[in-house]
Structure 1
Amino acid sequence: MGGSVLDWRVYGCAPSLDTFWDEPRNLGRGAAGDADIAAVQARLGIELPAWLRSLYARYDGGAVRMARARSLHSDDWIDADWLVPRARLLPLAEWFSLAELRRREDYRDDAFAALAADDSRLIAIALGEDNGTLCLDYSAPGAPRIVLTDQRQRLRDYPGHIEFLADLVEIQYWNPALQARHDPHATLRCDPQPPSLDTFWSGPGYWAQGGATPADEPALAAAEARLGLRLPALLRALYLRQDGGSTEFAWVPLRRQPSWHLYDWESVVPGEAVFALAGLQTLADWAAAFQGSDALYGFVRNYAGCERLLILATHNIEWLLCLDYRERGPQEEPEVVAFEFFGELVELYRARDFHRFFADLRRGEIV
């Protein structure tokens, strides 16, 4: 299939002020007005440089598309550093000086002495986990420097926005659909035949012990009782052939009469493997195992009914294939939906039932 699920790739670099924001993820977010700029300048005793005024005239903080940079200690993109923590700039009203942080958290007076002689001149504009903080440094006269710090040392230091933007890249795990959006000329060589019960499975999957084995009716009944829902009849029949595993049928069309351009297709079986019965869990169950992570906990907080989204296949949390019982109930035929998650749960594909999904599936490779 050409590309490992563990393969990080660069999908953009060196944004301009016009391409800095992640537009789709900032829908509904407003611009910073003159009053907002005047308020933050008065509160922090600073003057916003022209480049930040330009950015905030579009959005008052929000998601950025390119947020990382090549690691200072590794040539592998998987080790890329975050230059914009959490890939988001704070709204102006949430900017703060490290002096305010020190007072609020009751740090000792010299806590940030290694960063600046006067920590009131270090203004945080993006904040991540593990004290990763992007700051404007107003210590010297003139335009502020841009500093990334872990609040103990300066990790990166830029004289201005041109040098800062030049280091920024967008990287993600390789994904066929993502690749398609960046390569409009790519095509898919596709087997026109959908799968059957005999052809769907192609191997046992990496988790299997002792090869591919079928499930039985007691195992199906136990899984349904544990999950509190009924699996589609066709999926049950697949499990009676093999209890999860690998498949070459991962592609679905995104329109009724698709071309062979890759942008008309979506790869919806992450890792080309379906969970065994014992591995099935709802999205709520999945999120509950990661209560310490804001992003994953957000599923429970932000997506009502996630206890009725049953995950059939996933790669980490970025791509999910689910049975969706939210509309019809846990004992009825579910819809099938594929999601992408990079800060928000975005629907990529939906089928009215498992039969429709199964009929849509194709084997294919990018050419």
Structure 2
Amino acid sequence: MSSKVARALRIVAAMTVVVSLVGAGYLGRSPWIVVLATPALTLLYALGKFRQWQMAWRAGGLKSIGLGVLVALPIQLGLGYVFYLIGRGLASLVAPAPIAALGAADVLAVGLVFLVGLAFSLAIIKLEGNAMGTRDAWAAPVADQAAHPTDEVELDMDPRPLTPETFFKSPGYWRPDPLREAMEGRGKRVAKPALAASELEIAAAEKRLGFPLPESLRALYRMLDGGYVGALYVPLKTGPGPVYDDWRGAFSIDYSSLSPLKDLRTVRAHYEDFTDDPDDIPAHADTLLVLQSRYGDMTLLDYSRPGEPRVSIVDFDKSGDAAGIAFETFDAFFQALRRPKEEKPRPFDRELFRSKPLGDLPRDGRATAFWGDANHPFVNMAKGRDDGWHPKAMADDALINETEARIGAKLPEVIKQLWRAKNGGDVAYRFLMDGPDVEFEPFEELAPMEYAVTLAELSRRIDFSPGEKPWHESIAEADKLVVLNARREALVLLDFRREGDPSLLVVDDFGASGIDNARAFDDIDAFIGKLRKFERSPLLPSPL
């Protein structure tokens, strides 16, 4: 409510100023009245942009305010004369009035308009402050404010420091996917290494590199042997504002990952991949350890001096040496790291951007529509191996019978119908609407029928890391769970552990909780019929 009243007052305040200037021209008041009114107009303009001018004050003090005033004064003077001349033009069409000399009445009128505008402005500031739920913004902290007045925040940084628990976002997509490899089979055993590094692995990496890692970095590797950390930045100045010029991306912002122990190496080893010219290799290359790199943009541990290594972030392609931003210790670097705030999705009617449920289509067209026209990733990967084998384009009776014999169970009719239309691949109808504000994506793809395997058999194809119990030993009746897809830690399974038709299980984080937190759908046919696809009308605005 406060924001609506504030908007209405803004309109009234603006119209008061405009009408006053047009009226001055219409009544033939002295043109000098615009010059007299310009400081007042500038102040009212500043109050109208109160939040932006506050940011300028915090970031640059009087200097920023002074520069802003020097820019605003001539603009307000020009606008004032535009409205004054509009009034003169109207008067010439109706009843031309002679130009009067500037007098006390003019000064009084300007003062009155200013006071009215000031009252409106203060009321607007109060109402907008209430709507935002803010305190007196003059008392807000300096950090994370813009260096100049701006209507748009370029980089809205979360002021909270990172912790070891919030550092990693995921293990990273560069890791091998043992579940996918084991599901494909091909007669080879698949290694499933632990996600975290052991003390022995850390010590072995230090011995190979010839450098001891900082203890806080070792602790991160004990949590996860490298991985995706997301967009992380370090400040380039004290009290950085929400602008890109005040921040520097860490961990090669396009990659945003900490390298696993096996990939740690020196800058010299990195450059020797593509050059043997000593002049191309940066100084101290043997004592600079690369934590992440994107071409010459690197985050480094600098062992070129005694004691604990510094952390340097440098782009050798631009600077040619290690002169970049540096931190005295890894702890200091870690404490400086900040992550941008997650953007809240802009509200839009999700119903407008999802198709009707698959079950609303004619029955004979549902199977083909379910898959869509996307390329078949499993076929493409099989062809890329060039070993002469790839999945069938569509499941036939022979493949269905062979699959059922292998898994020891009869497939549901809806599964056979779908795979007869296309033997696995990317799924078009993959969104489930549980309500107007609840959306769930059970899967993006489903494997070909040749890949379908019981969880027990999948487990037996894998060499687990020491201390990790195989799934066929830890999950009851794993031989009655049939894997339709495995991608990282996400699984889609048919559950034959009960009498009658199987249910469908969708697992988001199999590594952390097994199937304990799986979403179960007892009626697979009804579940498939409720799925929708993304289908935005070209006549509708983008949700982004």
Corresponding residue to 2:211 among 115, 122, 136: 115
Give the SS at the match of 1:229: coil
Match of 2:396 among 194, 199, 215: 215
**Taking every aligned residue pair, what percent have the same amino acid on both sides?**
16
- Where do residues 215-294 of structure 1 align in structure 2 (5 Å cutoff)? 215-216=396-397, 218-253=398-433, 255=434, 258-259=435-436, 261=437, 264-271=438-445, 274-293=446-465
When residues 222 and 342 of structure 1 are mapped into structure 2, their CA distance, relative to the original with a 3 A threshold, is closer
Indicate if the aligned counterparts of 1:112 and 1:152 stay in contact, CA closer than 8 A.
no
Shift of 1:354: 1.2
Tell me by how many angstroms 1:127 deviates.
Answer: 4.4
Aligned to 1:66, which of 156, 167, 172? 167
Residue 505 (structure 2) aligns with: 337
Report the count of equivalent residues.
249
Structure 2 residues not aligned, in runs of 5+: 1-155, 176-193, 227-258, 267-288, 292-300, 302-309, 312-328, 380-389, 537-542
Q: Measured at CA, do residues 186 and 348 of structure 1 come closer, stay the same or move farther in structure 2, by a change above 3 Å?
A: farther
Rounded to whole Å, the distance in 1 between the matches of 2:458 and 2:197 is 28
TM, length-normalised to structure 2: 0.36
Q: Distance between the aligned counterparts of 2:448 and 2:347, measured in 1?
A: 36
Aligned twin of 2:478: 306
Residues 1:353 and 2:531 are matched in the alignment: no
- Please list, as runs of the form range in 1=range in 2, the aligned pairs for 1:10-89 lying within 5 A after superposition: 16=160, 20=163, 64-67=165-168
Counting helix residues as a fraction of each chain, which structure ranks higher?
2
TM-aligned CA distance change 1:295 to 1:192, over 3 Å: farther
> Residues 301, 215 of structure 1: CA spacing in aligned structure 2 closer, same or farther, 3 A cutoff?
same
After TM superposition, give the deviation of residue 227 of structure 1 in Å: 0.6
The residue type equivalent to 1:225 in the other structure is A
Tell me the TM-score normalized by structure 1.
0.51
Higher RCO by CA contacts (8 Å cutoff, separation 6 or greater): 1
Q: For the Cα contact (< 8 Å) 1:65–1:87, is it kept in 2?
A: no
CA deviation profile, 1:59-112 (whole Å, cap 9, x unmatched)? xxxxx233279xxxxxxx9669xxxxx88799xxxxx8x9xx97xx9xxxx959
Distance 2:518 2:344 in 1: 16
CA distance 1:15–1:295, change in 2 (3 Å): farther
Q: Which has the higher strand share?
A: 1
CA distance in 2, matches of 1:283, 1:168: 41
What residue is the counterpart of 1:363 in the other structure? 533
Aligned position for 2:376? 205
Aligned equivalent of 1:192: 356
Shift of the alpha carbon at 1:114? 4.1
Letter in structure 2 aligned against 1:270: E
Q: Please tell me whether Structure 1 or Structure 2 has the larger radius of gyration of its CA atoms.
A: 2
Deviations 1:292-337 (A, max 9, x none): 45799664454433333222234x32322221223x05xx311112
Residue number in structure 1 paired with 2:493: 322
> Retained in 1: the 8 A contact 2:395–2:449?
no
| Deviation of the 1:284 alpha carbon | 3.3
User: CA contact under 8 A between 1:283 and 1:311: conserved in structure 2?
Assistant: yes
Tell me the C-alpha RMSD between the 2 structures: 4.9
Counterpart Cα distance in 1 of 2:157 and 2:458? 33
Partner AA of 2:167 in structure 1: M
Distance 1:306 1:13, change over 3 A: farther
Question: Structure 2: which amino acid aligns with 1:322?
Answer: L
Moved over 6 A (4+): 12-15, 86-90, 129-132, 294-297
Instruction: Say if 1:364 and 1:296 are closer, same or farther in 2 by CA, change over 3 A.
Output: farther
Tell whether the 8 Å contact from 1:68 to 1:168 is kept in structure 2 after alignment: no
In 2, distance between residues paired with 1:300 and 1:210? 27
CA distance in 1, matches of 2:225, 2:426: 41
Once residues 364 and 251 of structure 1 are traced to their aligned partners in structure 2, the CA distance between those partners, rounded to angstroms, is 8
- Change in Cα spacing, 1:351 to 1:111, as seen in structure 2 (3 Å) is closer
Question: Contact conserved, 1:288 with 1:297, CA < 8 A, in 2?
Answer: no
